[in-house]
């Protein structure tokens, strides 16, 4: 199921403003890659180009290539809607649909795909909630509003919603930044389980988190104030945290700035 992501010479623009410049990297299937770096360095922007969500913002466009196995995500024939059905996303703040029940939230993506069969929906809802380690906590109140859950549960609900449509890749944009430590731990455990099935890319501000959950780490930074963000260094998490090649990476990791 999981696919490899190949990013080549990616420049990202918002209108005339160049936000990120010259990103090239590879993300192996069934692995976790963490994006770290100071605020505003473009790591979330890069993440959003992996499922073309940056196009939602007016003026958002890219130069360069993003390949999912042998599919070019930015080929003219590629429909962004189809890309987003293959590459799921979990956001910084848990965002379950407030008017929907827990069950309907998980089923939302399936319904968009035109699946109406009730039995199949129920099965997938259970499977996804189990996959998100949420089933035992909500199985008795599937018809209650999703917004009534705790923050950590809501975030796991959003993960269940994302994996319900069987994506190839799962993108997570600071998924724990609005959560307490216990809920964060639950999500991190979940990421460890999910990586056996999905290619996962996670943006995080928390370097311990990057060290705990990821196999590969990419460090982003601004060239200078007002300049586009760029990828400074990417490598195995162990190497980045113990013996980085760039001085900037070491300074950031050791807490000298950022």
Partner 1 sequence: MSTSITGHSVTDDLPGPDGRSPHDGDRAGTGRLGDRLFGGAATGSGLVVVALVTLVGLFLVMQAVPSLLNNNANFLTSTEWVPSGSEPRFGIAALLWATVVTSVIAMVIAVPLGVAVALFITQYAPAWLAKPAATTVDLLAAVPSIVYGFWGLTIAGQFIDPVTGFLQRTLGWIPFFGDAGFSGRSTLFFAGMILAIMILPIITAISREVFAQVPVAHKEGALALGATQWEMIRTAVLPFGKPGVISGAMLGLGRALGETLAVMILLSTLNPTASWSWSVFNGGETFASKIALNAGEFDSPQKTGAYIAAGLVLFILTFLVNAVARIVIERRKAFSE
- What are the φ and ψ backbone dihedral angles of 213, each rounded to 5 degrees? -100, -20
Which residues of the chain form contacts with partner 1 (CB under 8 A)? 51, 53, 56, 81-82, 84-85, 88-89, 91, 93, 95-101, 108-109, 112-113, 145, 147-148, 158, 161-162, 165
DSSP tag of 227: S
Q: What is the dihedral of CA 68, 229, 206, 52, to 10 degrees?
A: -30
**Cβ–Cβ < 8 Å for 68, 170:** no
Nearer Cβ to partner 1 (12/162):
162
Shortest distance, CB of residue 230 to partner 1, whole angstroms? 25
Shortest distance, CB of residue 84 to partner 1, whole angstroms? 4
Shortest distance, CB of residue 48 to partner 1, whole angstroms? 9
Q: What is the rounded CA–CA span in Å between residue 195 and residue 214?
A: 10
Shortest distance, CB of residue 3 to partner 1, whole angstroms? 16
Nearer Cβ to partner 1 (26/99):
99
Residue 197, judged by CB atoms within 10 A of its CB (0-12, 13-18, 19+), counts as middle
Give, for 126, the enclosing helix (H) or strand (E).
Answer: helix 118-131
């Amino acid at each position: 199921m999981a696919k490899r992501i190949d990013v080549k010479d990616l420049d990202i623009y918002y209108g005339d403003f160049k936000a990120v410049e010259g990103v090239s990297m590879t993300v192996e299937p069934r692995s976790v890659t963490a994006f770290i770096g100071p605020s505003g360095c473009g790591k979330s922007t890069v993440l959003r180009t992996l499922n073309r969500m940056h196009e939602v913002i007016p003026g958002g466009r890219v130069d360069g290539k993003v390949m999912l196995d042998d599919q070019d995500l930015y080929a003219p024939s590629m429909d962004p809607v189809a890309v987003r059905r293959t590459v799921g996303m979990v956001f910084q703040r848990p965002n379950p649909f407030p008017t929907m029940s827990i069950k309907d939230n998980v089923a939302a993506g399936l319904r968009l795909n035109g699946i109406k069969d009730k039995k199949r929906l129920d099965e997938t809802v259970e499977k996804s909630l189990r996959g998100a380690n949420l089933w035992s906590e909500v199985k008795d109140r599937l018809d209650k509003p999703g917004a009534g859950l705790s923050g950590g549960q809501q975030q796991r609900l959003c993960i269940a919603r994302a994996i319900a449509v069987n994506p190839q890749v799962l993108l997570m944009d600071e998924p724990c930044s609005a959560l307490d430590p216990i809920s964060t731990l639950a999500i991190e455990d979940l990421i460890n389980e999910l990586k056996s099935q999905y290619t996962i890319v996670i943006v995080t501000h928390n370097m311990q988190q990057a060290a705990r959950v990821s196999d590969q780490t990419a460090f982003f930074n601004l060239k200078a104030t007002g300049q586009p963000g760029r990828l400074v260094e990417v490598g195995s998490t162990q190497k980045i945290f113990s013996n980085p090649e760039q001085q900037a990476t070491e300074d950031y990791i050791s807490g000298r700035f950022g």
